[in-house]
Amino acid sequence: GKVPLRDLVRETTDIIERLCIEAALQINDNNRAGAADMLGLSRQSLYVKLHRYGIEDKSSGNEN
């Protein structure tokens, strides 16, 4: 069936955003503050996106 362009754009944007967040966390050794800074986000905004995408902190003690 047909999928509205708006839905395709939203899904694609979500995929790209998740990949960018995962890459920023990897580059910053899972340091959320560093990843947020790299992405131009506040830490709170990053936390919201981590929850939204179900991304777990791989090193539970390294949030700063």
Q: Contact, 21 vs 53, CB < 8 A?
A: yes
pLDDT exceeding 90 applies to what percent of the chain? 83
In this prediction the pTM is 0.82
Annotated domain spans of the chain: 5-53
Contact call for residues 51 and 57 (beta carbons, < 8 A): no
- Give the mean pLDDT of 26-53: 98
| Residue 25: per-residue pLDDT | 98
Q: What CATH number has the domain spanning 5-53? A: 1.10.10
Which of 8, 12, 53 minimizes the C-alpha distance to 35? 53
39 or 2: whose pLDDT is higher?
A: 39
At 56, the pLDDT band (50, 70, 90 cuts) reads confident
Q: Which residue has the higher pLDDT, 64 or 20?
A: 20
